[in-house]
Every structure is written in C-alpha cells, then in structure tokens.
Amino acid sequence: MNGAIVELRQLRYFVVLAEELHFRRAAERLFISTPTLSQQIKVLEREMGGALLNRDPRVELTAAGEVLLRTGREVLRSVDAAVRETRRASAAGAPVLRFGLLNGVPPWLPSRIEELLPAGTRTVLTGGTTADQVRLLDDDEVDLALVRTPVALPDRFAQQPIARDELGILMSSTHPFANSAEIDPNDLTDQELILFARESAPGLHDELLHTLHARGARVRLSDSAMGHAQMLAVLPSRPATIGLSTSRPATHPGLAWRPLRGGPIAVTYAAIWRVPTRNPAVRALVEVLAASPEWQAPADQI
C-alpha cells in the first residue's frame, strides 16, 4: 500500500457503511447518493489494494475491511480531537459556545439564548435532530444543545426545560377536516399521520403517539417518515394525510391548520450540557436558565 492516498472523506464513508452494512442506509446518514457512496468505496478499495467488502448476497466486511474499520475509527477520532483542540486554541481569550441547533426549532428560541450569553461570546452552530445533538454532545463536538423531550440521557448530562410549543393538526387545505373550526381527537381514528423518523427522537415519537391514543385519536402511522420541512412540501398533495405542527405554517400555500378539541399537544424544548462543564459561557447561561420560567413564543411568532 506504499504511496496510497486515502482521503478522510472516503474513510468516513467506509466507517459509516461498515456500521450500517447497507449502502442505502449509509448513504442517507452521509447525505449523499447511493451511487456516489459505491463509487467512493471502490476508489478506496483500489487504494487499499483489495476488497474491503463482500457485496453478495449481503454486505459483509472482509478481513481487510475489519482492520480498516478498527484503525479508521481511531484515525477519525484523532483527527476530530485535533480539530477541536486547534479551534479552542485559535479562540483562546474569546468565549466560544459550540451550540447544537435543533432542526425545526422555533426561530425565536436560538436568538433568546444568544441574548443571554456573556458579552462577546461567539457561537458556532451545528444543526441536527435530537438524537444527533445527544451524540454531538457526547462526542464533545458541541458544548450545549437543544433537544425535544422526553429524551434518554446519560448520567453525565444535565438538562433544563426552557420552552414549549403547542401542536395541532396540519393538513392539506382540501382535507375534509379543513372545514372544521377544531378537530375532535376521536375523529382522527384511522387517519394516516406523517411523523419524523423514530430514530431521530425516539422518546418524543413514542410520547406523541401515546398522547394521541390516550385522547382517543387512534391514528394510523404512515410508512413515510420525514422532517417538518419535508412534511410542509408533501401535505398539500396528500389530502388524506395529516401531520402534527404548531400554527406557524397555517398560511403556507395549500395547507390548513386546526386546533385539537380539549387543548393542544405540548412539546417541551430543553437545553442539555455535560456536567461538570469547563465552558464559562455554558456555566453563565445555565445559571440564567435555571432561574427563568419556561419561555413562551413572542406574540408575533406563535
């Protein structure tokens, strides 16, 4: 393998594929196409001088692949640690908060948090789902993150509820329920409900379904799973499908939003961080959050 040139990108691709043992799932995790992933793995195998995977009848690692997975993980951990330490050194003397920005968070919430940081603090944002933010925090890639609860956390994490959202039913403007002022949960029985993928926030996913069922809404979970932005694009053309949402997208073309009779379904946002924390910006922010009541959305952003 003398003279072999292996890109870190290719190594990351291989490690994810080795963990998934499935090209499509690995490509989705990496946000690339399956053909692109397949091509890069073939390039990597040429550089390595042999097969890293057996592809038929299913994906399995070869002996060489097992070695590369073990050593590749070590290399990537070392590189990530070097990047983190270098960034810290370059920011020495100026407070920095590496902030895990939750996908789909209310627009006013990150701004409110930044207002509470010590003067001069620079924020570095990393987006992701609740599951992503827990992993990022555990890997020391962020100092503080936002998640939706309930969420299972290790003992080395602390959390503080900080805000709530209230959910109703979002649907196509041609859905029969769009003619109602509010929706009785019992009428939702057998309706197809689109939710986010369970692995992105297992606790919240299960809690939402449990709450709906407890209120008489025996919905049918759709085979399609997607984030909120994708749901907004899909629902206008799916008049027999519903979603859960705040009222913020109510004016979106082709959509209608209606409250649930008996009150909304509440979703709580929490800040999470490692304990103890070495970051002075996190310590200062946590003190303020602990002394504050849960925030409500500004009147013009409900």
Helix (H, G, I), strand (E, B) or coil at 70: helix
Decide the pairing of beta strands 192-195 and 241-245. parallel
- Residue 177's pLDDT band, with cuts at 50, 70 and 90, is very high
At 302 the pLDDT is 47
Encode pLDDT of 223-233 as tens digits: 999 998 899 99
Q: Is the pLDDT of residue 301 over 60?
A: no
Encode pLDDT of 205-217 as tens digits: 999 999 999 999 9
Higher pLDDT pick, 1 / 90:
90
Global pTM value: 0.70
- Residue 68's pLDDT band, with cuts at 50, 70 and 90, is very high
Every domain of the chain and the residues it spans: 8-89, 93-162+268-291, 165-266
Q: Is the pLDDT of residue 197 over 90?
A: yes
CATH code reported for the domain at 8-89: 1.10.10.10
Query: Cβ(126)–Cβ(136) under 8 Å?
Result: yes
CATH code reported for the domain at 165-266: 3.40.190.10
Q: Give the single-character DSSP code of 237.
A: G
Give, rounded to a whole angstrom, the gap between the first and last alpha carbons of the chain.
59
Q: Is the pLDDT of residue 151 over 80?
A: yes
Rounded CA separation 27/34 (Å):
5
Q: Is the pLDDT of residue 66 over 70?
A: yes
Higher pLDDT pick, 199 / 2:
199
At 17 the pLDDT is 94
At 182 the pLDDT is 97
Instruction: Name the CATH superfamily, with its identifier, for domain 93-162+268-291.
Output: Periplasmic binding protein-like II (3.40.190.10)
Is there a common fold for 8-89 and 165-266?
Answer: no
At 92 the pLDDT is 57
At 6 the pLDDT is 81
Q: Is the pLDDT of residue 283 over 70?
A: yes
